[in-house]
Structure 1
Amino acid sequence: MPRRVARVWSCILVAVDEIQRGRWMWSVLSTCEVPAGERFDWYSDIVSREVMPAALSSEQPAEFQGEAAVLDLGDVRVSRFSLSPLQSRRTAAMIRRGDPEQYQLALLRKGATSLSQHRNECVIGLGDLMLWDTSRPSYNRMSATGGQVQATILLLPRDIVPLRTQRLDQVLARRIPGGEGLAAILSSFMTALEDHGAECGPQELRRLGSVAVDLATACLAQHIDTEDQLPAEVRTQALVQRIHAFIEHNLGDPELNPSAVAAHHHLSVRTLHQLFHDRGESVRARIRRRRLERCRSDLIDPGLRARHVSAIAARWGFSGPAVFSRSFREAYGISPTEFRALCVDDF
């Protein structure tokens, strides 16, 4: 590799465990500082050396641009990439040269991609998910109309996914619609990881890694009809995440309460409370906290300064201004009106 390219690489690949202002950083590589004529070759070389051996090709290599990043979640990593359309082929010979031995589960954020692996083929679009195995040959073609392909990927070591290989083979290179059920919850989780993962500390990231494995496993099991074979703790974690997602989508409903949550998930209220008993926060407390946090965000928002405090309270499900004011003061030590005034003064 030319010396100037090596210097660029050493500057832009930041160690994952580097802490800056108390935040763990994404490790990033980008073609932005590489001379235009060398970008595609440089990117191809980096992928083969630092990720896994693969043969990349592009119809317009001179115009290629690409950026990729990874965040460590303990045993799991999450990566994101944005790059010009290309094709990637991984052969048995390349697998013998180097294999991270991972299942990689991708959420497509922009563009389209097709994948062939293990006698399966699929084409996915915006919001869809798909799975592939780095230990099997594959062919991937990415496309985008007038732009780049963007995706978020969970990198899951094969030995931590508690599903049999023969069963997972059924879902390799299969489109998983990301708009409903467990897939929708997993998609929201992966999006949040990309958007906010760097705000978390090392212990929080490790916990998020465990959640990622549980949600991914539950989602894949659902698509191969093996959900009942999952370990009890995985099923429980997936259920809790479904409940969290239901609460988030219904915070504005004043009728949202433990009884409504239990009924929607076909649980008794007693079972629901037992489910949350060891999680440090009851269902009722979570609903209250999330409503207050949403209200607090609205009170800070300059675009909502004309909206009355009582309207913000009603938007997020509080039964009345007095109840909201009392709850807000208990949580933050100041009334909503006083909090908003302080925020306006800060601006």
Structure 2
Amino acid sequence: MFETVYSSDEWPPGERFDRWREMITQSYLPSVVSSDEAADFRGVARVLQAGPVHVATLRLPALQVVRTPVHVRRFDPDQYQLAVTLQGRRTMAQSGLEVAPEVGDLVLNDSSHPYESWMLPDRGAVETITVGIPRAALPLPREKVDRLLAAPMAGGTGLGGLLAQFLVGLVAESESYRPQDTVRLGTVVLDLATAVLAHRTETGGAVPPESRQRVLLVSINAFIERRLGTVQLSPALVAAAHHISVRQLHRLFLPQGTTVSEWIRHRRLERCRRDLLDPRLAELPVHAVGARWGFRCAADFSRAFKTAYGTPPGDYRRRNRPGPTKRRA
């Protein structure tokens, strides 16, 4: 994953806000940036370049950004920016409209038009994740997408929720990805963003079949993750929930080199492995850890875990248990 991190802590306290403003203007989008907390400015930006899109995570204090027609003429990357607010409040105005999305909701803006954005902190900071989407990469009619500028879009459920959940996971696990993963992950982000915008503009027919298929697979994986602790989780249940046949479901998993049942078991075992390493769950019996993630039979859980990780779950927990902290004399 190609990630660039900008942190105000890297600069002397008296220069932090000026350096940040310069970074935004030169590395992001030309604009006027101001803050009521310029004297003690604390901000962090992480930018992931993932294939056709970039994903920017921002944690900022009170901040106002104004992009004028002069700035647009100076530099325009010709892209849409689809953002989800994770904490605090962000108000955005563009094309004569103003929106203040709730936490978890999505909002779209366009780099080719002037806009204003205000960050209003909660518990010290505003946190957002923004996807930069090249306009040429979006297979939807521009005139219809532009109707969504500065319009609130629910991000807690449906396709919006699926995109928001995927972005949060992408950012959280960014250090674990290999360089060859970047194009695939970026393509998935683009597919999900396209699906959200196509749903809102009722232009689903413009979405390529392969893109719809990838979005369906992401939805299926999210469904599986939410129900790993359900004993009844099965290929038939997954297929029925997505209104496809079990045969179609198996075809979707073929390119991954695994079956649906194998994937469910793999994800259950991985959740068990994490719980066995969690000191907060140290008193939870091993068989209860397995039952927590859908293994009804303790013996079956032990065999499956040993096959996957080379040691029984009890031994794995003991070998990887943190040692006692040494007290200083």
TM, length-normalised to structure 1: 0.88
**Deviations, residues 261-313 of structure 1 (Å, cap 9, x unaligned):** 11111111112112222232221111110000001111111221211111111
Aligned residue among 171, 185, 194 for 1:194: 171
- Pick one of 152, 155, 162 that aligns with 1:178: 155
2:41 to 64, 73, 78: 64
Whole-Å separation in 1 of the counterparts to 2:315 and 2:20: 53
Kept in 2, the 8 Å contact 1:95–1:135? The answer is: yes
Q: Which moved more, 1:254-263 or 1:121-130?
A: 121-130
Q: Which residue is equivalent to 1:332?
A: 309
What is the one-letter code of the residue matched to 2:287?
Answer: S
| Map 1:212-223 → 2, pairs under 5 A | 212-223=189-200
- Listed as ranges, the matches of 1:91-240 within 5 Å are 91-145=68-122, 147-240=124-217
More deviation in 143-152 or 125-134?
A: 143-152
CA separation of 1:334 and 1:65: change in aligned 2, threshold 3 A: closer
Q: Indicate the RMSD between aligned Cα atoms, in angstroms.
A: 1.7
Residues 118-143 of structure 1, C-alpha deviation per residue, up to 9 Å, x if partnerless?
23321113212111111111111111
1:47 matches 2:24: yes
Give secondary structure in 2 for the equivalent of 1:344. Answer: coil
| Identity level (%) | 41
User: Deviations for 1:107-162, whole angstroms, at most 9, x for unmatched residues?
Assistant: 21111111111233211132121111111111111112451211111122111111
CA distance in 2, matches of 1:32, 1:184: 33
Structure 2: gaps of 5 or more residues:
325-329
- Whole-Å separation in 1 of the counterparts to 2:303 and 2:40: 58
How far apart are the structure 1 equivalents of 2:255 and 2:122?
49
Q: Deviations over 1:210-264 (max 9, x none)?
A: 1111111111211222223311011111111111010000000000000111111
Shift of 1:101: 1.7
Work out whether residues 60 and 119 of structure 2, in 8 Å CA contact, stay in contact via their aligned partners in 1. no
Q: Does the C-alpha gap of structure 1 residues 168 and 330 become closer, same or farther in structure 2, counting only changes over 3 Å?
A: same
Answering whether residue 229 of structure 2 is matched by residue 276 of structure 1, we say no
Aligned to 1:31: 8
- Whole-Å Cα distance in 2 between the matches of residues 48 and 284 of structure 1? 50
Distance in 2 of aligned mates of 1:76 and 1:92 = 24
Cα contact 1:25–1:198 (8 A) shared by 2: no
Native 8 Å contact 2:16 2:41 kept in 1: yes
Q: Is the 8 A contact 1:252 1:317 kept in 2?
A: yes
Give yes or no for contact 2:139–2:206 (8 Å, CA) kept in 1: no
Distance 1:142 1:266, change over 3 A: same
Q: Structure 1: which amino acid aligns with 2:26?
A: R
Instruction: Check whether the contact 1:103–1:132 (CA below 8 A) recurs between aligned residues.
Output: yes
Contact 1:108 1:126 in 2 (8 A): yes
Secondary structure of the residue aligned to 1:184 is helix
Secondary structure of the corresponding residue to residue 81 of structure 2: strand
Q: Give unpaired runs (5+ residues) of structure 1.
A: 1-23
Query: Are positions 1:258 and 2:238 aligned together?
Result: no
Q: Cα–Cα, structure 1 residues 59 and 299, in superposed 2: closer, same or farther, change >3 Å?
A: closer
Matched residue pairs, number? 324
Displacement after TM superposition at 1:97 (Å): 0.4
Q: Which of 267, 287, 290 is equivalent to 2:267? A: 290
Partner of residue 322 from structure 1, selected from 299, 309, 323: 299
Q: Secondary structure at the match of 1:278?
A: helix
